[in-house]
Structure 1
């Protein structure tokens, strides 16, 4: 599991400990964006004590997507056949990872979804929940995909999926990265499965999501959607 971090010293040991207890056979890769609070140093100490934990140190905070791309590249080169994502803040519960692992038997990408039947969100204000649900509806309508929670960050990819969607051409570095990879997976004819999870708002530390981040994500999604619609019109006109 790839876990990106920036100033998560209050949460890292707690969440990785839960993950190692819930799934002892799963290796953990912490990708730290040079956290000034000492998260990277804590991750190094954890790696020294547990061979299943590794650390990738980045030189700057360059966005969630950039951290994941770095981690995916390292994991692919190391030969892993299954590569996952999860947050360091406790919003994704390691005890539910088995649900994603089970679903991966018949899917190319599995998403732990808040918005399929059985999924839920705990301790979010109504405004943020409405923004998230509305954003996902916008994604479905504009991009024409059926994924209910395209912005979710609790995921498992097959190695073949990451190779097929061409990570080298991914330019999104922020939170829209999640939508980008889901969209790429669907449009390449691969299978996406969503399993219900309980998403819990962080109790410690500060969220990295902001209004500006959400706005930038919507702008990119709009650009992709309009580009896709233009492509569909061109294909329609070229049909005999």
Structure 2
């Protein structure tokens, strides 16, 4: 499937922290699946040398770029740094993709094609046609439960609001604004989707196959889960209070 030419310049942003075992393969697959896109590796000073390997990949391929950060500061801030870099360098579309191979680069053309009629496209696991492979049942239950909770308390029509495989138009990020985004972990994904919906933008979910990582260690932790639950609950409660005040 060809990428629509009218989308303009596309940048795939891949945050990394200790992903040396994965970054070369995922970069290669992105370049093979979508030769016309560029890749930006945002490395948080990985102790395992991921940043050095990314630099070597960039030297061998002019479409691979690297943004080095001084330390591990969370997924959300890594993506925001990538978004800002993309805006400074004139990209029209920004794609979020994990480094661990859970997001299939071969599915990227479908996400980008869907962006022709949308402002934000989310690669979704929990919609018809979406699948998960090799994930522990506990993680699957946690993800399904978190997304159901977010959908109900926030009143949003999205089934995979925590999904991290997504494509934004640059204009979408401009409209929702990034200055007020404080989320660091996986609730960052919910935050941006919620902001897009509140701005009246069109958010579309495209089914994907999510594959658990084969190498390395997941960044999911109790602190990440706790932050997500707390922030989503806060957003939901504040939204209800705002609606009650508006009725008075």
TM-score (norm 1): 0.98
Q: CA deviation at 1:32?
A: 0.2
Map Cα deviations across residues 169-204 of structure 1 (whole Å, 9 max, x no partner): 111122210000000001110000000000000000
Q: CA deviation at 1:212?
A: 2.5
Alignment length (residue pairs): 237
Per the alignment, residue 235 of structure 1 pairs with 246
The one of 159, 163, 168 aligned to 1:152: 163
Alignment of 1:20-169 (within 5 A): 20-169=31-180
Per the alignment, residue 25 of structure 2 pairs with 14
Q: CA deviation at 1:77?
A: 0.9
Structure-1 separation of matches of 2:185 and 2:210: 20
The one of 205, 223, 226 aligned to 2:234: 223
Q: CA deviation at 1:215?
A: 1.7
Q: CA deviation at 1:211?
A: 2.5
Q: CA deviation at 1:127?
A: 1.3
Q: CA deviation at 1:133?
A: 0.4
Per the alignment, residue 214 of structure 1 pairs with 225
Structure-2 separation of matches of 1:73 and 1:198: 29
Matched residue of 1:18: which SS?
helix
Matched residue of 1:54: which SS?
strand
TM-score (norm 2): 0.94
Structure-2 separation of matches of 1:150 and 1:174: 13
Matched residue of 2:197: which SS?
helix
- Taking only aligned residues, the RMSD between alpha carbons, in angstroms, comes to 0.6
Per the alignment, residue 205 of structure 2 pairs with 194
Map Cα deviations across residues 35-59 of structure 1 (whole Å, 9 max, x no partner): 0000000000000111101000000
Alignment check: 8 A CA contact 1:112 1:194 kept: yes
Alignment check: 8 A CA contact 1:5 1:88 kept: yes
